[in-house]
Amino acid sequence: MENIKVEDIKARHIMSKNYEKINISASIADTLSLFRDNKKVCFVFDKGNYVGIVTERSIVRSRFDPKHHNISSVVIRTPAVDIDDNVYSIAEKMIQTKMRYLPVMTDGKLVGTISDELFFDKLKHTWLAKEQLNSVMTENIISTDQNTPISRVMNMMRENNISRIVVNDEKDEPAGIVALHDVITKVVYPADRIARGEIVDEKTHTLSTPVFEIASYPLVTLKTTDDLEKAVDLFITNKISSIIVLDGKEKPTGIVTITDVFESVLKNKPESKSMKYILSLSKIDPESIDREMINKKISSLMSKFMHYLGVGSVLFIYAKEHSSTNSHVRMRLASKKGVFISTSQNKGFKYDFAKALDRLSEQIEKKKEKHR
């Protein structure tokens, strides 16, 4: 197998031409017709200037009537990748935007697109592909009975700040998985269409429907000793975004997602000699963030645990704010001692950030004492 140096991979080596350009004034209905022609993504332009991205998924999740809205209502503002950006820069932008596609630009001109699949296919030929899943996965996965109502599953996702839950069969064995996207596309979106008087071909589901009716089967699994190469192969061939990881007794012990792979790439960035953090904001004005406060608190955490965690640790911070008192902050620390996750919500960004960081510190301290 070809052995490629990670740092030598540039955007120009992994981009494709499988995209469409569209004007911001185009209707949603016209845009949907492009996806039927096997296009994966549409890049939106306004008077020749790049604006953002539209995918079929973003249109579905918007719940707008395709006949009466143009794509300015659903466009997602994302940065572009420079044609000479390396894999570390690309991974960081993929994490920050939470998108599976990004445009590739050179001198202000659109020249291609990068997808997570293209990224992973190239990653398979590097030494990073040999990293074992036990150092990448998220532990303590959440599961539920197959007859649990969808409404309860949604509450579980909200309470645990997650987007996937394992579904157990009648023998209480893991059999499938349900994602937030399943709830939106199979429950929420059809209900909206019916409310507008449209005909829905598929069987309709309500919030009282047992979760097994919208879950995905069979459950795709790997073992803790399997490597990233096997995981990315499954992501690509099965068109999935998560894999359940089994321990030596064939019991679920963790989950690996597409985002975890990107995080693993950044964790292994050569120049990461100290803890680095990546902040991903949704519906929060970057100018309103107290960067000095963030740097100070993270520096304090770093000085306290860096010797234990080892070099190359990366703290991923995901924050979303609906109002001044309604926010979610989720932290995920990827380190050589494992992955640590903490959350806080509904108190405002500043409070939730500090609370989530305190909870993260408590987890690290607990594991550190356990090792002692």
Asked whether the beta carbons of 319 and 351 are under 8 A apart, the reply is no
103 or 336, which is more confident:
103
Q: Is residue 111, in this structure, part of any structural domain at all?
A: yes
Residue 99: Cβ within 10 Å count: 20
Averaged pLDDT for residues 316-331: 80
Same structural domain, 255 and 322 = no
| Confidence tier at 165 by pLDDT (50, 70, 90) | very high
Of 261, 282, 310, the last residue of a domain is 261
pLDDT of residue 302: 85
Same structural domain, 224 and 309 = no
CATH of the domain at 354: 3.30.160.100
pLDDT of residue 272: 52
Pairing of strands 314-323, 326-335: antiparallel
Residue 283, Cβ density class (10 Å: 0-12 exposed, 13-18 middle, ≥19 buried): exposed
pLDDT digits (tens, 9 = 90+) for 59-77: 776 766 667 778 888 888 8
Of 69, 98, 130, the last residue of a domain is 130
Same structural domain, 119 and 137 = no
Same structural domain, 117 and 146 = no
pLDDT of residue 270: 72
| Confidence tier at 274 by pLDDT (50, 70, 90) | low
Of all helices (H) and strands (E), which one includes residue 111?
strand 109-115
Averaged pLDDT for residues 97-122: 91
Q: Is residue 297, in this structure, part of any structural domain at all?
A: yes
pLDDT digits (tens, 9 = 90+) for 198-241: 444 556 778 889 999 999 999 999 999 999 999 999 999 998 88
CATH of the domain at 105: 3.10.580.10
**pLDDT higher than 90, residue 180:** no
153 or 302, which is more confident:
153
Same structural domain, 84 and 143 = no
Same structural domain, 189 and 123 = no
Of 130, 149, 183, the last residue of a domain is 130
Among the listed residues 253, 244, 185, 191, the one whose alpha carbon sits nearest the alpha carbon of residue 217 = 244
Averaged pLDDT for residues 10-26: 91
**pLDDT higher than 80, residue 109:** yes
Residue 344 sits in which domain range? Answer: 271-371
Averaged pLDDT for residues 319-330: 77
pLDDT of residue 271: 61
**pLDDT higher than 50, residue 316:** yes
| Confidence tier at 186 by pLDDT (50, 70, 90) | confident
**Distances in Å between the alpha carbon of 225 and those of 107, 137, 221?**
44, 11, 12
Q: Is residue 1, in this structure, part of any structural domain at all?
A: no
pLDDT digits (tens, 9 = 90+) for 32-43: 887 766 667 889
Same structural domain, 163 and 275 = no
Same structural domain, 27 and 119 = yes
Q: Is the dihedral of CA 184, 181, 280, 104 positive or negative?
A: negative
pTM metric for this prediction:
0.74
Same structural domain, 205 and 230 = yes
**pLDDT higher than 60, residue 171:** yes
pLDDT of residue 33: 80
Same structural domain, 195 and 152 = yes
| Confidence tier at 283 by pLDDT (50, 70, 90) | confident
Q: How many domains does the chain have?
A: 3
- Give residue for tokens 């590739």: 104
Q: Is residue 266, in this structure, part of any structural domain at all?
A: no
